[in-house]
Structure 1
Amino acid sequence: MLDVFRILARGAAARAGEDLFDRNALLILDQQIRETQAALERSRRALAAAIAGDRAEARRIDALEARAQDLAARAVAALRAGREDLAGEAAEAIAELEAERDAVRAARARFAAEVARIRSVVADATRRQAELERGRRIAAATEAARRLGARTAPCATASLREAEATLARLRALHAEAADTEAALDEATPGLDIAERLEREGFGPSTRPSGGAVLDRLRREAGLAQPHAA
């Protein structure tokens, strides 16, 4: 019986873990993508450093060969002048330079194969990372659509329907207001033209002006109207 309980406990824990993962799958995916992005960036930097080092080794080979050629030319000149001793020392130095050059070349050959392998790995990881990010965008859109239309979330669906009903009501109110305004315009067809004529100075003013009010106040005060200059 205890074994059965232990099995049930493990099964319940596994089910709970799966449910937790399912509920937070998009969040987990986001974190995993961030971690793979960081790892890919480190790989790219390491590859760039390796390539830079290889180019430095190539320049080192060129420098060794240039030194060897210079010593060879000088050694030939020493032989022609009968200085076997100096030519012998130059030959020893040339041999050391050539040995170092050959060692660097061999190391570069091995290194080139490793750089090619790393470059292939980084290229593959870059492609897979791009696919992950595209898949994440699709998954996010799918999850949003699923939550919007999920039967297990009636509140969200009801809110959407209510918003649509509110929009329809607003549109009806706007249409009614527009119809009312149009009807008023039709009921007073000469209003706009009358206002325009008044503004242009044709006909008596239908609105009191500051000057007219001042004249009325003077009359009430028993003051004479000022003479125009």
Structure 2
Amino acid sequence: MTQSIWSKLFTALRGGASEVGEAIVDQQALRILDQEIRDADSALANARRELVTIMAKHKLSADRVGEYNAKIKDLESKALAAIQANREDLALEVAEAISTLTNDLDVEQKQATEFGTYADNMRKDINKAEARIKSLRQQVDMAKARESVQKAQVSASIASGGANGKLETAVGTLNRLQARQQQRAAELNAQDELAEASTGNDLDRKLREAGITPDAGSANAILERLKKQSAE
């Protein structure tokens, strides 16, 4: 049972670690890694429960070792008392009981040592596994962050490219509109010139501009008119 749990745990960790370098390339890698981390956490939780069981067995076994030692010590003192009372027969009986307890003590001590060693090894392995899972989770978090940043960069590049294309189109449209407006203004000016020429206004304008025909609306003309009125 224990072997299968540890096998699953370290297999999951090795599989997860091998995927880290491919997290950006493979779109499913992050999902796979998350699942593998959950599997590793589950296996680790089972290992912790087994460790608790082993530690409990170690404690019970160690307690029994203490009890055996106490009983043996007590029987030894009674055997000495029997010897001092010249009751070697009774002392021998006590010695036989001590022998049986000593054999039981040896078995229990061996079992307690095995439980203790196994618990220590499990504790070290669990600590290593926890560190590996923590490191793997950190790498996954960084991979997720890089993935998000790269997606944002791709989206921004696409948006920027689209915006630039639309901007170029808008500038082209504006240039064509301005050209049409300039053409229309020139056409309107030409039409005005043709209209003035057809009514004679164009000739009067040219004479006034040349100073040949006095401009009644000029300041000098108005001043002369006012002087004449004042003289009258």
TM-score, with length taken from structure 2: 0.52
Q: Cα distance, 1:66 vs. partner?
A: 0.3
Letter in 1 for 2:147: E
- Of 96, 100, 104, which aligns to 1:100? 104
Alignment of 1:47 with 2:66, yes or no, is: no
Q: Does 1:35 align with 2:39?
A: yes
Question: What's 1:114 paired with?
Answer: 118
Q: Which of 129, 136, 150 is equivalent to 2:133?
A: 129
Deviations 1:97-153 (A, max 9, x none): 111112222333344443333233222111101101111211221122222222599
CA distance in 2, matches of 1:56, 1:93: 23
Query: Please, what is the CA RMSD of the aligned residues?
Result: 2.9
Residue aligning to 1:84: 88
Higher-Rg structure is 2
Report the Cα distance in structure 2 between the residues aligned to 1:64 and 1:79, rounded to whole angstroms.
Answer: 22
Task: Provide the identity percentage.
Answer: 32
Q: Which runs of 5+ in 2 are unaligned?
A: 1-21, 163-232
Cα distance in 2 between the residues matched to 1:111 and 1:49: 10
Query: 2: distance between equivalents of 1:136 and 1:27?
Result: 10
CA distance in 2, matches of 1:121, 1:147: 38
Return the alpha-carbon distance in structure 2 between the equivalents of residues 157 and 95 of structure 1.
92
The CA distance in 2 between the partners of 1:156 and 1:38, in whole Å, is 45
Partner of 1:150: 154
Structure 1 alignment gaps of length 5 or more: 1-17, 159-229
| Counterpart-to-counterpart distance in 2, 1:76 and 1:47 | 43
Please say if residues 75 and 98 of structure 2, whose CA atoms lie closer than 8 Å, have aligned partners that are also in contact. Answer: yes
- How many residues align? The count is 140
Change (3 A) 1:26 1:155: farther
Contact 1:50 1:115 in 2 (8 A): yes
1:51 CA displacement: 2.1
Amino acid at match of 1:94: I
Report if aligned partners of 1:149, 1:157 keep a CA contact under 8 Å in 2: no
User: How many Å apart are 1:57 and its aligned residue?
Assistant: 1.3
TM-score by length of 1: 0.53
Amino acid at match of 1:72: E
Deviations 1:153-175 (A, max 9, x none): 947998xxxxxxxxxxxxxxxxx
Match of 1:58 among 51, 55, 62: 62
Cα offset, 1:65, TM superposition = 0.6
